[in-house]
Amino acid sequence: MLLQSELLDFFNETRAQSELICSFLETEDYVVQPIVDVSPPKWHLGHTTWFFEEFVLKPYKSDYQLFDDHSAYVFNSYYESVGEKVIRTDRGNLSRPTVAWVYKYRNYVSKALKDFIESEELSPEILEVIEIGCHHEKQHQELLYTDIKYILGNNPLFPKYNDQFEENPIQDIPQEWIAVEKGNYDIGHNNTDFCYDNELGRHTVYLADYQISNKLVTNKEYIEFIEAGGYKDVLLWHAEGWDWVNTNQISAPSYWHNIDGDWHQFTLQGLQKLILDAPLSHISYYEAFAFAQWKGLRLPTEQEWEVANSKFNWGSRWEWTESAYSPYPGYSKAPGALGEYNGKFMVNQKVLRGGSVATSNKHTRPTYRNFFHAPLRWQFTGIRLAK
Amino acid sequence: MLLQSELLDFFNETRAQSELICSFLETEDYVVQPIVDVSPPKWHLGHTTWFFEEFVLKPYKSDYQLFDDHSAYVFNSYYESVGEKVIRTDRGNLSRPTVAWVYKYRNYVSKALKDFIESEELSPEILEVIEIGCHHEKQHQELLYTDIKYILGNNPLFPKYNDQFEENPIQDIPQEWIAVEKGNYDIGHNNTDFCYDNELGRHTVYLADYQISNKLVTNKEYIEFIEAGGYKDVLLWHAEGWDWVNTNQISAPSYWHNIDGDWHQFTLQGLQKLILDAPLSHISYYEAFAFAQWKGLRLPTEQEWEVANSKFNWGSRWEWTESAYSPYPGYSKAPGALGEYNGKFMVNQKVLRGGSVATSNKHTRPTYRNFFHAPLRWQFTGIRLAK
Amino acid sequence: MLLQSELLDFFNETRAQSELICSFLETEDYVVQPIVDVSPPKWHLGHTTWFFEEFVLKPYKSDYQLFDDHSAYVFNSYYESVGEKVIRTDRGNLSRPTVAWVYKYRNYVSKALKDFIESEELSPEILEVIEIGCHHEKQHQELLYTDIKYILGNNPLFPKYNDQFEENPIQDIPQEWIAVEKGNYDIGHNNTDFCYDNELGRHTVYLADYQISNKLVTNKEYIEFIEAGGYKDVLLWHAEGWDWVNTNQISAPSYWHNIDGDWHQFTLQGLQKLILDAPLSHISYYEAFAFAQWKGLRLPTEQEWEVANSKFNWGSRWEWTESAYSPYPGYSKAPGALGEYNGKFMVNQKVLRGGSVATSNKHTRPTYRNFFHAPLRWQFTGIRLAK
Amino acid sequence: MLLQSELLDFFNETRAQSELICSFLETEDYVVQPIVDVSPPKWHLGHTTWFFEEFVLKPYKSDYQLFDDHSAYVFNSYYESVGEKVIRTDRGNLSRPTVAWVYKYRNYVSKALKDFIESEELSPEILEVIEIGCHHEKQHQELLYTDIKYILGNNPLFPKYNDQFEENPIQDIPQEWIAVEKGNYDIGHNNTDFCYDNELGRHTVYLADYQISNKLVTNKEYIEFIEAGGYKDVLLWHAEGWDWVNTNQISAPSYWHNIDGDWHQFTLQGLQKLILDAPLSHISYYEAFAFAQWKGLRLPTEQEWEVANSKFNWGSRWEWTESAYSPYPGYSKAPGALGEYNGKFMVNQKVLRGGSVATSNKHTRPTYRNFFHAPLRWQFTGIRLAK
């Protein structure tokens, strides 16, 4: 856990980063919600602020005056035990509060929180909630990038976000297999740094011999799968993956456009020719699985990934694993509203390991467990194979 | 038809009025689309501009340079014969083009059109299309008011639009019945002023004796219907009206809120106590029909309304009639894309007559035929009874 | 109205006819409901029986014992004022009561009703309800044919219903135009024979000069429309017709199958080569309208049809008109549950005039008003053009 | 694997059992499909027969004549690589082939297969497919019971299936905790008897210390959960479980009816008063999880269940585990159409262990892995707790 003095820096840096990300937007870009999984950027800015107000200032700072009585209502997300919430599909229908209002709200709460940290010695309990709030905001920073990409990339004008944002780092190494020997291994968070509750409960697992790739699957390899008819061969797919392909007429990763026979990709730098050696991105779990089937290989489990992680480079793509998102042995939810954080999603989701080009500084680690529903593609998801 | 000199004034006035209506908005209010029937205000501003560019400047002004190649794509609406269109449900997902861009586009096209009118003598055909374009924009001005009302009135913060906008003029007269004798009457537009194609084909109809009210139904009368259990008596409703009431859990007109036992109404001036003597508004055809059934009366046909219209005051509410929207005898669509204008909607809609507090200056007349689907309530709709 | 002595014959003949229609079915055919508009044949047999029990025997025959307490529940249809009903989409999920049970129920009620008619002198009120019950059953006989056709025609095995059922009578006459002069005409039922309440209120209408075809549109003419690209030309269609064509990928009338380049049609006699000179059938109102547009002609109104009906042969197809289904002037619903019969459907439906090869004996007349939603095609619908 | 001589008995017994199960049905009961998860009994009878024809007789018996060319089409299920299939939601719309036809088809194929087994010495490959076919039919026997229960139990007349079918065996023992020590354990099938491919790949897992109940949760205990407000406490539920409860207005297990304050349960013996000491049944995974949360306990993993299974009685309820359905290490699909059998469902389903009162003789074992989607309740599902 961070010391109180470190926490102030961490808080300041976190808050500034969210606003830096949004500094490249037009006012209109903050407002829309093209699909339910994407939230309007102004909602992210307001929600991360509401978190500090609701869980730190309101309960712990005795003389704190709410910025506005309605804000909680609009910026609550899924914390059902804390009052009524705005239905998730409605976020993009709300023109008010305005973006200007949201920035005022941020400033008001940031200032109140800084004063709070600077003015008195805070209990470990309060420090912990503030630290959670910063990590919570860092999670939303990743969503800001991916939601902005969705908003711009699904606009028929294909507007650029920022010329400097590089999302396709090439791994210029030959593909090799890293072998791990069978045996008992310990899994889960094991130091005093911050982690989420779903990483806790360090525990032993037995793994059989396995091999895992040192390198992510590239666009070039995936084009081979497409050209070999991968999207048309039912035997490569899960039954519900096959339904998904057909219902949605999927024939390529998200953001790919075939223009006059050449593959292009919408990126945060705008529409570009596809870089063949770059790591594949924006594929669903169904596609990751079908690709592995086609190769005669498989996806690693999250335990295999964690045990081997120090032997390969990771961090540019969230990597789909074969593991369903379940509680670790001995997991129990934190009491109260913060306890809603992770446990309630532990059904029908797949674990992803790693991190991505959109992940905030200091926001991932070898034990971090990300999770999404199998069909989702708007994150920077990728594939690392195992056998 | 207007003379070329009159047309310039008409055009200028029309264009200015759309911008005046929007001058009370925040940038964010221009962008959202909470339901499919509502369009974002920036879309209305762009679409009415696109109409002049597509149907006047592009075909008739020889040296005209398009403002931007993509505009047609984004602001086309239902003119399927003119290129691809943006799906109606997607309008609220587009953050670009920005509001500032739309105003530039408006200025560019307005200037080009003014120059065009001022610089040369235009053929009657061109003058007619420009006049249609002005009336088209006036139609969208009414939609701007009602769509803005929907956007603000369905926001949990209930923001005001404009303190000066009075939407509830009271008819301070006793209710009386106006009798009309049976006989043959002529229906349809019969002078040289502008009208839409659906008003043409003046023709004879035979009407039996009937009586029509001099006054619109008031909020007070409608509360009696509610309190008598009108929403719970299946025998008052059409079968599909009953399904609509139950599926949507309807128990009052749109924008009504019962707060601690008192009826309130969201208006463009904000949330207010309901004015009992004001004319009822924001009810569906189903509700209008059920209310009439409950009274032992009926809605007039559009012919009955038109024949009697000079004997009562109208213009604050669009009035539901019993008539389905059908072509007049001898109706035929105009050739080409403009021919898509009205005829393609002549199925499963009800005719409304009159006009409303949101109707633009010079945009209604005794023969005007408005039309909406039976369940829609976001217009300023009302009830005038007949027997 | 029928005399009591005539009514007994009419009742016997009606009841026998329903059972004759079903005599060609397998037990399994009585049970299924492939779409919501179609009801299982056993439901038709039970429902028409329930009608006599609910509206005649229960209220009027003092010592009547219900056959079974549950029958009302299962066989009620849309009479919402008479107890709970089985949701229409659930009719095909009920394996019980069995077909054998339904026949026992029919026999029990038929016998009770015959005894009732034979044993005492009945009031005009009772006689009228019995006569309505017979006409109600005759309506369901037409539905039995069309629902059976749907059940068998949408089975991949294409089973025949009955080799003797001829559904394609050819009109072997040249097409000619029948001219009708403008003037006032009287519309609606005008004698003492049975009619439904929606035909009453004989009233005057003014009609302009018009011409109406002596002949129904043939399959051959419709193939020309298809081959000319009629289903692909947006300008021929209503906006919602166009959506319907595209959403449902419609490219031919219902029951048509193009097998190796030859048009075939499923009929109650099984799958056959399409008879080119036979009258077209199984098209929606949208298709009827688009075909007329393509011809540069139009559909008649129901008044035009009624005024001219004695000058052409009709009765093999229900003919779509341009008229929306609305109340005649002076229409008012009958009191009580029977009053739900027609008025509650008077919104968003189109009037069809004529009758069809499936219409029961004595069940149509020049003033009969049938009505269906615009997209429905499972009835024997056809086209007669006007200009 | 069974010897050829044993196989004949096994085949005969299996085929006879399916027909015995259906012998209590009316013809109509064979036809309907009230929800997509349930199949019409005649489909089960036909499909299990089609399996032997498609995978044994057609490929291996040289002179075999198909019973009918269309049967494959109608009775194929999810084997997408073997020709077109009937959409699962359409099975209940098909009145043909008739039940009588299906029995003829069964007899024809059964006879052909018996002749085949009796007449020549078959290769191990063929014997294996026949044995799989028998186990496949036994799986469908369980579905026959549960689908029949659904068909009858959702009929408003609540018809009985069979007075002799006892579905509520009471475990008349005190609840105790069985302790298992931490360590490495082997999981998966380990003998030469038949098993499915998903049980293969015996492998080692490490388990921490745990305890598992010797007894299933009873109806009485579940009523306590209901009365304590379990269905209304958001904190007990997964996020999607909570949506499921609210969307479907769930407030009790399936088949429970509260009549005048007393809980009743529809069983295959008809509607009965709920037996408080009987094991709970017909609950979803969401409910099993929420109940365990409320108790402060948890569901076992499938490995924990398998390791401890010899220490408790099981077999009356399929028991929800915490484990998602995933491949065992080293799992690979069988080649060809039979390879579609299990692997394609290994996403978004939960593993159930045990068996139920509806499970066929010899059709479960300690390593058997059943699997269903989290919300499904029509199987005889139950709860065994762990800690």
User: Chain A residues with CB inside 8 Å of B27's CB?
Assistant: 27-28, 98-99
Note whether A326 contacts D: Cβ–Cβ < 8 A. Answer: yes
Q: Closest to D29 (Cβ–Cβ): which among C86, C95, C155? A: C95
| pLDDT computed for residue A337 by the predictor | 60
C237 to chain B, closest Cα gap in Å: 7
% residues pLDDT > 90 (chain D): 85
| D376-387 pLDDT per residue, tens | 999 999 999 999
Judged by phi (left if over 0) then psi (alpha if -120 to 50, else beta), residue A362 lies in: left
Note whether C87 contacts B: Cβ–Cβ < 8 A. Answer: no
Crossing angle for the helix pair B219-227 and B285-295, to the nearest 10 degrees: 80
Q: What is the 3-state secondary structure (H, E, C) of chain D?
A: CCCHHHHHHHHHHHHHHHHHHHCCCCHHHHCCCCCCCCCCHHHHHHHHHHHHHHHHHHHHCCCCCCCCCCHHHHHCCCCCCCCCCCCHHHHHHCCCCCHHHHHHHHHHHHHHHHHHHHHCCCCHHHHHHHHHHHHHHHHHHHHHHHHHHHHHHCCCCCCCCCCCCCCCCCCCCCCCEEEECCEEEEECCCCCCCCCHHHCCCEEEEECCEEEECCCCEHHHHHHHHHCCHHHCHHHCCHHHHHHHHHCCCCCCCCEEEECCEEEEEECCEEEECCCCCECCCCCHHHHHHHHHHHCCECCCHHHHHHHHHHCCCCCCEEEEEEECCCCCCCCCCCCHHHHCCHHHCCCCEEEEECCCCCCCCCCCCCCCEEECCCCCCCCEECCCEC
Burial class (CB in 10 A: 0-12, 13-18, 19+), B259: exposed
Test C235 with B339 for CB contact under 8 angstroms. yes
Tally of CB atoms within 10 A around B61? 18
Higher-confidence position of D126 and C85: D126
Test B98 with A151 for CB contact under 8 angstroms. no
Do the strands A256-259 and A262-267 form a parallel or antiparallel pair, or are they unpaired?
A: antiparallel
Which chain C residue's Cα is nearest to D69?
Answer: C157
| Test the D interface: residue of C95, C149, C158 with most D CBs within 10 Å | C95
Test B31 with A95 for CB contact under 8 angstroms. yes
Higher-confidence position of A113 and D82: A113
| pLDDT computed for residue D361 by the predictor | 87
Which chain C residue's Cα is nearest to D84?
Answer: C156
- Domains of chain C, start order: 4-153 (1.20.120), 177-382 (3.90.1580.10)
% residues pLDDT > 90 (chain A): 85
User: Chain B residues with CB inside 8 Å of A33's CB?
Assistant: 93
Task: Please give the Cα distance from C208 to B329 (Å, whole number).
Answer: 8
Do the strands B381-382 and B370-372 form a parallel or antiparallel pair, or are they unpaired?
A: unpaired
Test D238 with A327 for CB contact under 8 angstroms. no
Residues B324/B349, Cβ–Cβ less than 8 Å: yes
Note whether C156 contacts D: Cβ–Cβ < 8 A. Answer: yes
Which residue ranges in chain C fall short of pLDDT 50? none
pLDDT surpasses 90 at D123:
yes
Test B98 with A27 for CB contact under 8 angstroms. yes
| pLDDT computed for residue C335 by the predictor | 62
Does an interface of 3+ CB pairs under 8 Å exist between D and C? yes
| D80-98 pLDDT per residue, tens | 665 556 677 788 999 999 9
Backbone angles phi, psi at C376, to 5 degrees: -75, 140
Does an interface of 3+ CB pairs under 8 Å exist between B and A? yes
Test C348 with B348 for CB contact under 8 angstroms. yes
Task: Please give the Cα distance from B139 to B142 (Å, whole number).
Answer: 5
| Test the C interface: residue of B347, B351, B371 with most C CBs within 10 Å | B347
Average pLDDT, chain D: 93
| pLDDT computed for residue C321 by the predictor | 98
Average pLDDT, chain A: 93
Note whether B205 contacts C: Cβ–Cβ < 8 A. Answer: yes
User: Chain B residues with CB inside 8 Å of C344's CB?
Assistant: 237-239, 242
3-class state of residue C48 by DSSP? helix
Note whether B73 contacts A: Cβ–Cβ < 8 A. Answer: yes
Which residue ranges in chain B fall short of pLDDT 50? none
| D140-197 pLDDT per residue, tens | 999 999 999 999 999 989 999 999 999 999 999 999 999 999 999 999 999 989 999 8
DSSP state of C382: E
Task: Please give the Cα distance from C131 to C115 (Å, whole number).
Answer: 16
Which chain A residue's Cα is nearest to B36?
Answer: A93
pLDDT surpasses 80 at A80:
no
| A315-369 pLDDT per residue, tens | 999 999 999 999 998 787 666 666 556 788 999 999 999 999 999 988 899 999 9
| pLDDT computed for residue B1 by the predictor | 78
Q: Please state the ipTM of this predicted complex.
A: 0.94
Residues D319/D305, Cβ–Cβ less than 8 Å: yes
Note whether C27 contacts D: Cβ–Cβ < 8 A. Answer: yes
Note whether D206 contacts A: Cβ–Cβ < 8 A. Answer: yes
| pLDDT computed for residue D335 by the predictor | 62
Test C235 with B374 for CB contact under 8 angstroms. no
| pLDDT computed for residue D150 by the predictor | 97
